Amino acid sequence: MLTRYTQQIKLEEIGTEGQKKLENASVLCIGAGGIGVTLLSYLAGAGVGQLGILDDDLLEETNLHRQVLYQESHIHQTKALVAQMQLQALNSKIKIHAYPFRLALENAEQLISQYDLVADCSDNFYTRYLIHDTCFRLNKPYFYASAYQFKGHYALFYGKENGCFHCVFPSVPKTMKQCQSGGVIGTLPGLLGIIQATELIKWITGAGTLLKNKLLTIDFLSMEFKNYEFIKNEGCFFCVHGKSMEYPEDLCTLVKEPDSFAVTTHEFPDFLKQYPEALLLDVRTHEEHEARNIGGTLIPIDELESRVTELNPSQPILVYCYSGQRSRRAFDLLRGAGFSLVYHLEKGLSKLLAI
Ligand SMILES: [Zn+2]
């Protein structure tokens, strides 16, 4: 019976003990899209004893370029049910449950509480917040992965002492505000599903070291993979102050973008009051900084990309320069690198110091 798993049992880190652990494990996969079907295929292949698939979508032709578990004949059928059938054909020895409905505030806890581990393969931020928050309350590990255009994220959130999803994403990132409206290269969700499945298998079997307290960002255009360490945000409304978030009724609702991440000269004193822990980041040259500055850290714009790891993604950052141009570039660079708490001083010191 274990013959099919021979190649992974051979691994010292897994062995027959690890295989038993896989057999006794249960994983709920929320979202049976490009990430989800890849994750599910490998977990079913590896012999994870119980898999849950939650998705209320019907398969569309436009899904096929990335959701390679499905076939043309499945178009217009319910993804969760087709995935269950396909995966059961791959491994008849495991239990697979299909939930062909939408995750909602009313059913999240009841569903998630039935599984050991949760893989978030959903496609929008409010659903992610809801899954994360429910996992946090139930003390379940939350494996997050997302893919958008050419960029992807992976992270594991677990443990009250560690940073939570809200610490890292206090608001919906500007570049990921819609459900699948911006396109995605088909191979990216596949890779993210593989990374997520690998980390789940490592968690279950105890093999290797998990990627913890780090956000892995992948850029397929430059093929750059980076890890950003994150820590608990001591001001986090969710994991520190114990407040809950308000979810819109339709979780896939479009997010109204904040008016701006620009801080005007006028707003500057209020910004400092609101974010007393904020880092002021001067991106001018050493000479300019020496001549006059408003405190904080200096990282000249030309060095920012290579020194980005010196910055803490869970600390609010206000970037400034002389006229507001370099700080705007730095803002874009940091946002692109996954920093969500970045602001820039509009019109720079020229305006601020003129008052
Ligand atoms: Zn938090």
Span 262-294, pLDDT tens digits: 888 888 888 888 788 889 999 999 999 999 999
User: Taking CA 315 as the corner, what is the angle to CA 230 and CA 306, rounded to the nearest 5 degrees?
Assistant: 70
Give the pLDDT score at 354.
Answer: 79
Give the pLDDT score at 191.
Answer: 98
Distance of CA 75 from the midpoint of ligand 1 (Å): 40
Distance of CA 244 from the midpoint of ligand 1 (Å): 11
Find the DSSP H helices in the chain.
Answer: 6-9, 15-24, 34-46, 79-90, 108-112, 125-138, 165-168, 187-205, 268-274, 286-291, 301-304, 325-336, 348-352
Distance of CA 165 from the midpoint of ligand 1 (Å): 6
Contact call for residues 219 and 163 (beta carbons, < 8 A)? no
Distance of CA 8 from the midpoint of ligand 1 (Å): 36
Contact call for residues 345 and 268 (beta carbons, < 8 A)? yes
Distance of CA 238 from the midpoint of ligand 1 (Å): 5
Which DSSP symbol is given to 141?
Answer: -
Look up residue 68 and give its two tokens.
């390679």
Distance of CA 228 from the midpoint of ligand 1 (Å): 16
Distance of CA 222 from the midpoint of ligand 1 (Å): 31
Distance of CA 180 from the midpoint of ligand 1 (Å): 26
Mean pLDDT lowest among 159-168, 208-217, 274-283 = 274-283
Distance of CA 157 from the midpoint of ligand 1 (Å): 10
Residue 295 and residue 281: Cα distance in Å, rounded?
A: 8
Distance of CA 284 from the midpoint of ligand 1 (Å): 32
Q: 3-class DSSP state for residue 321?
A: coil
Give the pLDDT score at 20.
Answer: 98
Question: pLDDT > 70: what percent of the chain?
Answer: 94
Is the pLDDT score of 124 beyond 90? no
Distance of CA 271 from the midpoint of ligand 1 (Å): 21
Distance of CA 119 from the midpoint of ligand 1 (Å): 19
Distance of CA 81 from the midpoint of ligand 1 (Å): 35
Q: How confident is the model at residue 255 (pLDDT cuts 50, 70, 90)?
A: very low
Distance of CA 214 from the midpoint of ligand 1 (Å): 14
Residue 119 and residue 141: Cα distance in Å, rounded?
A: 9
What pTM does this model have? 0.73
Give the pLDDT score at 113.
Answer: 98
Look up residue 258 and give its two tokens.
């904040």
Is the pLDDT score of 172 beyond 90? no
Distance of CA 235 from the midpoint of ligand 1 (Å): 8
Mean pLDDT lowest among 49-58, 120-129, 284-293, 345-354 = 345-354
Q: For residues 293-317, give the mean pLDDT.
A: 90
Comparing C-alpha atoms, which of 18, 20, 57, 22 is closest to residue 36? 57
Distance of CA 239 from the midpoint of ligand 1 (Å): 4
Residue 112 and residue 118: Cα distance in Å, rounded?
A: 7
Residue 97 and residue 90: Cα distance in Å, rounded?
A: 15
Distance of CA 335 from the midpoint of ligand 1 (Å): 19
Contact call for residues 166 and 128 (beta carbons, < 8 A)? no
Q: How confident is the model at residue 355 (pLDDT cuts 50, 70, 90)?
A: low
Give the pLDDT score at 175.
Answer: 52
Amino acid identity, position 79: K
User: Taking CA 7 as the corner, what is the angle to CA 33 and CA 227, rounded to the nearest 5 degrees?
Assistant: 50
Residue 192 and residue 33: Cα distance in Å, rounded?
A: 12
Q: Quickly count helices (H) and strands (E) in the chain.
A: 13, 13
Distance of CA 221 from the midpoint of ligand 1 (Å): 31
Find the DSSP H helices in 178-300.
Answer: 187-205, 268-274, 286-291
Query: From its phi and psi, is residue 293 left (phi > 0), alpha (psi between -120 and 50) or beta?
Result: beta
Distance of CA 309 from the midpoint of ligand 1 (Å): 20
Comparing C-alpha atoms, which of 29, 16, 7 is closest to residue 200? 29
